[in-house]
Structure 1
Amino acid sequence: MAQKPNIIFVLADDYGFNDIGYHGSQIKTPTLDKLAEEGVKLENYYVQPRCSPTRSQLISGRYQIHTGLQHEILWRWQRAALPLNSPTIADKLKETGYSTHMIGKWHLGFYREEFLPQNRGFDSYFGYLSCSEGYYNHTKDWLDHKHWYLDLRDNSGPVYGKDGHYSTHMFTEHAENIISRHAEKSSSSPLFLYMAYEAVHSPLEVPESYEKKYKFIKDDNRRKYAGMVDTLDEGVRNITNALKQAGMWENTIIVFSTDNGGQIKAGGNNYPLRGWKGSLFEGGIRGVGFVSGGALKTRGVVNRELIHVSDWLPTLVKGVAGGSLNGTLPLDGFNQWPTITGKDVPSARPYLLHNIDILYRKHGKKLYPHTWDTRVRAAIRVGDLKLITGQPDNGSWVKPPSDESVPHGDVIFSKDHKHKNVWLFNITADPTEHHDLSKKFPEHVQHLLDMILAINGTAVPPNYPKPDPASNPALNGGVWGPWVK
């Protein structure tokens, strides 16, 4: 029996749709471009508008409405986390015989020890637990935004002595060491590595040598951001080289994904898509994604089937590893491996719920009786059609800045949703969401509102507690970590 393939999952943070070379970016990404060209580009691929929602669905295979994480993100001072009631992707791959490791950003709650990555199926963990931190000092601030505390740990606890070690380089080096040690063991166990880079989330910090490559970009934020993308691309190159040197590449599948749209205020860009990080418009949720690797037989393909971040658990566990999905709560993800690797195989996904957030501030007036309340923030995709209700957040189209003539980009603000709370788009025909069809096709609006109402009937209550004063690292050894025994 052939050995199961190694799986490397690379997740980039706040990486914009317009910020990868093969989407026509001004930023050069030769490693990512080459991997994508040699594999399968996912050009109808969706994530969530913000960090921890995407990570929760990747790890659990379940929608936010089914884990109680449907509102905003998990804040580091909350007694909230991804529930323990269903196994993670690492749990299921471990059952299948994989050696499982995680590096980088967790952001799925950590108020008790059992929520830490090494207790969620990973044999080893090295990274940080909160939403972001300093790339050099590895610290994150407390509620007062005045006091900063270490947020870097491994299985044993806090990791000291890394001050000044740039995180993209540090995490890449740790990945290289894991690959090297795995190869030295000559183990029959395949490797699963979840590589959750901090790059390219703010703060905008990058070694000068990388920023210099983009001196033609006059906008300071965009130039620094471009340098950070350069370090990310180099990191992926070094990981692939490590796999090749270890003799593992030919039996490896590598998946690359973003976690949400780029943050325009921190240098990212999603043009020509509408909106940015946090938005239910395409700029917030349309992901950059591809599958590549020496073990992938399908090459040079652009896949336009509907695929979502929640699909990775069943796709990798069942489709790639040949494992079982027994023991999970009902999954919202689908095994898309036949779609990714087959020719003209349609997506297994009948529809995609982008989210329903009943805690988000209501917007506008309720437009229809006896169906979904249009004041409540929600979005759903069925076939070519996408419906948004409530307050979708930013709806601008922003061109990337390139020279002094457009120092902050060409911002085209949409003024159509001051009080508006329903949008209908044909995303296939209009991926940039310029043409709202809600008045033209009220019957489609009604049908999709009814669908949202029915799906919300399966939701669990949102878990979004107030900040817990006991979470203050000053009370817990001066480091971020579990505080409830």
Structure 2
Amino acid sequence: MRRNAALKTLGCALVGTTMLAAPPVFAEEKKPNVVFILVDNVGYGDFSVYGGTTATPRIDELASEGIRFTNYNVEVQCTPSRSAIMTGRHPVRSGTYSVLPPPGGQDGMVPWEYTIAELLSDSDYATALYGKWHLGNVQGRLPNDQGFDEWWGIPNSWDQSGFTSYPMYDLMAKEILAKEGKTELLNVPPHVLEGKKGEESKPAMDLDMKVRPVIDADYLIPKTVAFIKKQAAEDKPFFVYLGYSEMHPPIQCNPAFVGTSPERGGMYSDCIAEMDYRVGQVLDGIKEAGVEDNTIVVLSSDNATGGLSGGAGANGGSNGPFRGDFFYTPFEGSMRVPAIVRWPGKFAKGQVTDQMFAAVDWMPTLASLVGASKLVPTDRPIDGKDISEFLLGKSKTTGREDYMFFGTDGELMSVKWRNYKMIQRMTAGPALEAIDQAYIVPQLPLFFDLSSDPHEDFNLWTTTLTMAWLFDPMLTAVGKYEESVKKYPNIPAGVKDFKGYN
């Protein structure tokens, strides 16, 4: 079992490192199970409980049974968001701030990174991932190398399901395989992979447009539910991470749901309705396994929707009241997405909170909730905050007052502090054309008061000119990050290995 040597070193004070409270789990209590459902490219306004026009009764019910966040923040793309969740670190620290590595670089996280799956595995949890990983696509960088006992899913992203529909891709793939002297590679042509800890992953089936519409219903959901029931029957605590496929292009609903949303119509609405049904299947599986009262359920999205999904034949997607989308960054619509968490009898029912919360906070928070805070690494900066006291009703705040948002080049774009936002760089709009625009630097950083201007229309420089004092808290946050980078330099994107800090 791989561990970091420094995990046993406690009380080490690092700039940028979160020091964690005493674990809330008592010795006589069973460790809670964790079911983490991460949907793909679902915007803030897509679920009806967040104001969406497609009915999502099961997700709404989940929200009524737990805590719904209205100020949950993610990263700029799929890979950085998933890296933040797994490590509790800003993706720029891990070299995972972009989906694509530099030319000739290696995809994903270096094996040195310590994931929430490794932490829970080291706490005697059974661990599994079903669905999208997107944090490495070679042996040694797959989920079974990073703490998961088993996995079945894709190493990269769902758009690869459309690769083989291009005749030229098929020709290129044959040339690559002939050069390698093989009939198939892990990712050529695109495959669904499967693997177990201590073994190499191997292709399980082709990833193409035939499997794309049915992969959630026929594979990911049944495997997730089966894992839950198996571990519950064996009375073993478990962590299952479901990387649901929608709403990432190419958006393709299960045939049973196509055309079933007449009030709104369109493929996007159909797929949101299907997603609600699939989430309900997981929730039903937890209940049927008899572990509902001792299972933490998380439902969140990795990115906003917008031009990407709406322009890929789905004709839909909503980021609610916020400006920005997947490529129109760093406005709130590009970084604020749904997040719901439930633990019956432990977390408040029906609570709606605007307290700030972020993807990097899951690692230390879940570690604390399961009584494993001592395993959170102290040999590197951890940017996540332990918000378990808030979730348990023992604190009125999450303790997070600021958050930094980085671009696909790893450079800072914006800082949020309480209800204010400072934008140093941005993508030029309009939203549907942002994908074609470069990052631009305004003459002065833009400032917005999100409490009265959630759409970020009124730059305070032009409306009041009395808010220069905001530079102080904003730059204080940036300064702390920059000081930590001096001591612990960020891991470059694409590096093949990293041995740790001296």
Normalising by the smaller structure, the TM-score range is: 0.7 to 0.9
Measured in 1, the distance between the counterparts of 2:160 and 2:432 equals 29
Partner of residue 136 from structure 2, selected from 106, 109, 112: 109
Does the CA-based 8 Å contact 1:438-1:445 persist in structure 2?
no
Measured in 1, the distance between the counterparts of 2:229 and 2:69 equals 30
Partner of residue 151 from structure 1, selected from 179, 191, 204: 191
Task: Determine whether 1:429 maps to 2:452.
Answer: yes
Q: 1:209 deviation in Å?
A: 3.2
Q: Secondary structure at the match of 1:235?
A: helix
Q: 1:48 deviation in Å?
A: 1.1
Residue 80 of structure 1 is matched in structure 2 by 107
Alpha-carbon spacing, 1:326–1:285, altered in 2? closer, same or farther (3 Å): closer
Task: Determine whether 1:92 maps to 2:119.
Answer: yes
Alpha-carbon spacing, 1:57–1:162, altered in 2? closer, same or farther (3 Å): closer
Residue 240 of structure 2 is matched in structure 1 by 193
Q: 1:305 deviation in Å?
A: 1.1
Q: Secondary structure at the match of 1:352?
A: strand
CA deviations over 1:105-132 (Å, ceiling 9, x no partner): 0011223x21110010011111001122
Task: Determine whether 1:308 maps to 2:365.
Answer: no
Measured in 2, the distance between the counterparts of 1:353 and 1:301 equals 26
Counting only pairs closer than 5 Å after superposition, residues 301-340 of structure 1 correspond to structure 2 as 301-328=351-378, 329-340=380-391
Alpha-carbon spacing, 1:199–1:77, altered in 2? closer, same or farther (3 Å): farther
Measured in 2, the distance between the counterparts of 1:321 and 1:315 equals 10
Partner of residue 413 from structure 2, selected from 365, 371, 378: 378
Q: 1:420 deviation in Å?
A: 5.5
TM-score, with length taken from structure 1: 0.79
Alpha-carbon spacing, 1:297–1:384, altered in 2? closer, same or farther (3 Å): closer
Q: 1:54 deviation in Å?
A: 0.5
Q: 1:264 deviation in Å?
A: 3.2
CA deviations over 1:220-248 (Å, ceiling 9, x no partner): xxx11111112211111111111111111
Q: 1:293 deviation in Å?
A: 3.9
Q: 1:210 deviation in Å?
A: 1.2
CA deviations over 1:427-475 (Å, ceiling 9, x no partner): 2232221221145245235433464355235444573459x9xxxxxxx
Measured in 1, the distance between the counterparts of 2:420 and 2:35 equals 33
Partner of residue 270 from structure 1, selected from 312, 319, 341: 319
Measured in 2, the distance between the counterparts of 1:426 and 1:229 equals 31
Does the CA-based 8 Å contact 1:10-1:197 persist in structure 2?
yes
Q: Secondary structure at the match of 1:114?
A: coil
Residue 403 of structure 2 is matched in structure 1 by 352
Does the CA-based 8 Å contact 1:5-1:190 persist in structure 2?
yes
Residue 367 of structure 1 is matched in structure 2 by none
Residue 167 of structure 1 is matched in structure 2 by 215
For residue 413 of structure 2, what is the amino acid of its counterpart?
A
Q: 1:43 deviation in Å?
A: 1.3
Percent of aligned positions that are identical: 24
Residue 402 of structure 1 is matched in structure 2 by none
Measured in 1, the distance between the counterparts of 2:376 and 2:237 equals 21
In structure 1, runs of 5+ residues without a counterpart are 361-375, 399-410, 412-416, 469-485
TM-score, with length taken from structure 2: 0.77
Q: 1:321 deviation in Å?
A: 4.0
Measured in 2, the distance between the counterparts of 1:94 and 1:307 equals 25
Task: Determine whether 1:202 maps to 2:249.
Answer: yes
Task: Determine whether 1:129 maps to 2:155.
Answer: yes
* Paired residue total: 426
Does the CA-based 8 Å contact 1:62-1:310 persist in structure 2?
yes
Does the CA-based 8 Å contact 1:132-1:140 persist in structure 2?
no
CA deviations over 1:4-43 (Å, ceiling 9, x no partner): 1111011010001110011221111111110011111111
Residue 424 of structure 2 is matched in structure 1 by 389
Q: 1:394 deviation in Å?
A: 4.2
Does the CA-based 8 Å contact 2:261-2:273 persist in structure 1?
no
In structure 2, runs of 5+ residues without a counterpart are 1-27, 174-187, 196-200, 310-315, 435-439, 497-502
Alpha-carbon spacing, 1:268–1:303, altered in 2? closer, same or farther (3 Å): same
Task: Determine whether 1:299 maps to 2:349.
Answer: yes
Residue 443 of structure 1 is matched in structure 2 by 468
CA deviations over 1:269-289 (Å, ceiling 9, x no partner): 213210101321000100200
Alpha-carbon spacing, 1:397–1:107, altered in 2? closer, same or farther (3 Å): closer
Does the CA-based 8 Å contact 1:336-1:347 persist in structure 2?
yes
For residue 429 of structure 1, what is the amino acid of its counterpart?
S
Alpha-carbon spacing, 1:19–1:76, altered in 2? closer, same or farther (3 Å): farther
Alpha-carbon spacing, 1:441–1:128, altered in 2? closer, same or farther (3 Å): farther
For residue 114 of structure 2, what is the amino acid of its counterpart?
P
For residue 80 of structure 1, what is the amino acid of its counterpart?
D
Measured in 1, the distance between the counterparts of 2:148 and 2:97 equals 25
Alpha-carbon spacing, 1:297–1:18, altered in 2? closer, same or farther (3 Å): closer
Alpha-carbon spacing, 1:397–1:17, altered in 2? closer, same or farther (3 Å): farther
Which region of structure 1 is more displaced relative to structure 2, 389-398 or 308-317?
Answer: 389-398
Alpha-carbon spacing, 1:45–1:433, altered in 2? closer, same or farther (3 Å): same
Residue 371 of structure 1 is matched in structure 2 by none
CA deviations over 1:42-65 (Å, ceiling 9, x no partner): 111111121111000000000122
Does the CA-based 8 Å contact 1:40-1:301 persist in structure 2?
yes
Partner of residue 181 from structure 1, selected from 205, 210, 230: 230
Q: Secondary structure at the match of 1:288?
A: strand
For residue 194 of structure 1, what is the amino acid of its counterpart?
Y
